[in-house]
Amino acid sequence: MEHVLARELNEALRGMTPGALLSAMGKKLYFPRGIIAQGAEAKQFSTVANGTLGIAVRHKTPLILSPLQKQAPGLSAGEIVSYAPTAGIPALREWWAGELRRKNPALGDAACSQPVVVSGLTAGISAVCDLFLDEGDTLLAANPSWDNYALIAEARRGADLRLVDMFNKSGIDLGALREAVSGEARQTGFVRIILNFPQNPTGYSPTVREAKEMCAMIRGVAETGARVLVICDDAYFGLRFEEDIEENSLFAYLADMHENVFAVKIDGATKEDFAWGLRCAFVTFAGRGLSGAHYDALIKKTMAVIRSTISCSSTVVQNLLQKMYSSDADTLRAEKAAYRAIIEGRYKKVRALVDAKKDHQVLEPMPFNSGYFMSFRCKNVDAESLRHKLLHTYGVGTIAIDGRTLRVAFSGLDDECIDEVYALIYRAAEELAG
């Protein structure tokens, strides 16, 4: 039986592209007017006492063990152990919304939702798939892709993750991508696609020309009447190492593209701000014709996913990041630029090494120009066998994405060992090939 609150949210989205794309679970989800909602109201208006939330206080301050407090002297007890709002700390959400526009000038004044805080990019992707992916639906993704896509889309949601061979030797195979997108639109009237740039595992981002053609492709499909969901997995956003790479997320161009295009941006501090284990990311929605009421409904449904899984994201992590962001902005940006320059330097060193062996008989580098990774296509050898030999014979760790793709995270290689690591990779491949 449909809950009255779910019905209200579904009615708010009726006739709009995100409403048409909702999964069965997405239609059922609602944010209850229970403990969290009533507690938030009490926090705002209670003047005598607040007996709503299950925390222990003394003099209206949360109790905290002193050894824990000593580990974070810059935070108050409440900033460490209190519950955060389900959608995230408002100041942090507001800051990220402003940064999203600053980093994506092509977004202009296009309307989008306030970002919702989730506990890492994985949680954001999983939440979006809960909302918009049903058993039997197809989610398009690049081949090769991050292995967690299959776990989320297929194992958790029962959908079909269709991998598209969208990379050729020089970049994006626009023809293969167009065929997959238009074919799905013709067959079902819906397109669901996840685009990850810089891509994991290839380390490729679209050029300005490729980004323009991809957006034109999506617009063309939308103009046929198909409803299109584009999930922008922007985990490694900003790590561009060549001049011709598109500087904006595709989200910026999709946000106000067409009434039939619904875009979701998933990004966060995880990679952008060198805070991997803090697990803090954001989900932002956009689509032409969507109003504040539509975004409010989408946020409430996302809050329902959060509430029904982890309740809320870490309070201490959000406050740590908020304090960092509200500190010296010039110093923060300068340090980030310096760290990115370190990774770019490693990229350039790897670029030179693989370009010098571009005609290698066993290993063919896939296109890469950004991010943390590059990948080899293995010819005449099995990628898992190569990974095993590198690790157990030469002490070098790599990842076998599938039977023919070996990923190397050059971001994790100190400069002084890059030459040796790549020499060993080529040696091991040649030895396996005989």
And the tokens for 226?
């198909």
Same domain, 279 and 341: no
Same domain, 92 and 77: no
- pLDDT single digits (tens) 26-74: 999 999 887 777 777 777 787 777 777 788 988 888 999 999 999 999 9
Residue 313 pLDDT class (50, 70, 90 cuts): very high
Question: Are 120 and 167 found together in one domain?
Answer: yes
133 confidence band (pLDDT: 50, 70, 90)? very high
Domain identity same for 121 and 164? yes
pLDDT, residue 347, reads: 98
Q: Report the CATH number that the domain containing residue 170 is assigned in CATH.
A: 3.40.640.10
- pLDDT tens, position by position, 315-349: 999 999 999 999 888 899 999 999 999 999 999 99
Q: What pLDDT score was predicted for residue 2?
A: 85
User: What is the token pair recorded at 397?
Assistant: 């760790």
Number of folded domains in the chain?
A: 3
The closest alpha carbon to 236, from 275, 200, 289, 280, belongs to 200
Question: Is a pLDDT exceeding 80 seen at residue 101?
Answer: yes
State the pairing for strand pair 138-142/61-62.
unpaired
Range(s) of the domain holding residue 255:
4-31+86-325
196 forms beta bridges with: 233
Using the predicted structure, report yes or no on whether residue 21 has a pLDDT greater than 90. yes
Same domain, 21 and 159: yes
What pLDDT is recorded for position 50? 74
| Residue 338 sits in the same domain as residue 234 | no
Q: Does the CA dihedral 377-382-383-387 come out positive or negative?
A: negative
Q: Of 248, 193, 245, whose CA–CA distance to 217 is shortest? A: 193
Tens of pLDDT, residue by residue over 371-416, are 999 999 999 999 999 999 999 999 999 999 999 999 999 999 999 9
Start-to-end Cα distance in the chain: 64
Q: Select from 325, 353, 383 the last residue of a domain.
A: 325
238-276 as b/e: b if 16+ CB within 10 A: bbbbeeebbeebbbbbbbbbbebbbbbbbbbbbbbbebe
Q: For the chain, give the mean pLDDT.
A: 95
227 and 292, same domain (yes or no): yes
Whose structure tokens read 């020499």?
A: 423
pLDDT, tens only, 181-197: 999 999 999 999 999 99
Q: Rounded distance, CA 266 to CA 232, Å? A: 6
Asked if 184 and 293 sit in the same domain, the reply is yes
Same domain, yes or no: 308 and 347: no
- The H helix count followed by the E strand count for the chain is 18, 13
Q: What is the pLDDT of residue 91?
A: 97
Q: Which of 230, 241, 279 is nearest to 411 (CA)?
A: 241
3-state SS assignment for residue 90: helix
Residues 289 and 416 placed together within one structural domain of the fold? no
Examine the domain organization and report whether 319 and 383 are in the same domain.
no
Which of 257, 291, 325 is at the close of a domain? 325
Query: Which tokens sit at 64?
Result: 């905290």
Question: Which one is predicted more confidently, 330 or 304?
Answer: 304
What is each CA distance from 237 to 58, 138, 196, 250, 270, in whole angstroms?
Answer: 43, 26, 9, 11, 11
DSSP 152: I
What is the rounded average pLDDT of the residues 164-177? 96
User: pLDDT at position 132, please?
Assistant: 98
- Residue after which a domain boundary falls, among 274, 306, 325: 325
**What is the pLDDT, as a whole number, of residue 356?**
96
Asked if 369 and 224 sit in the same domain, the reply is: no
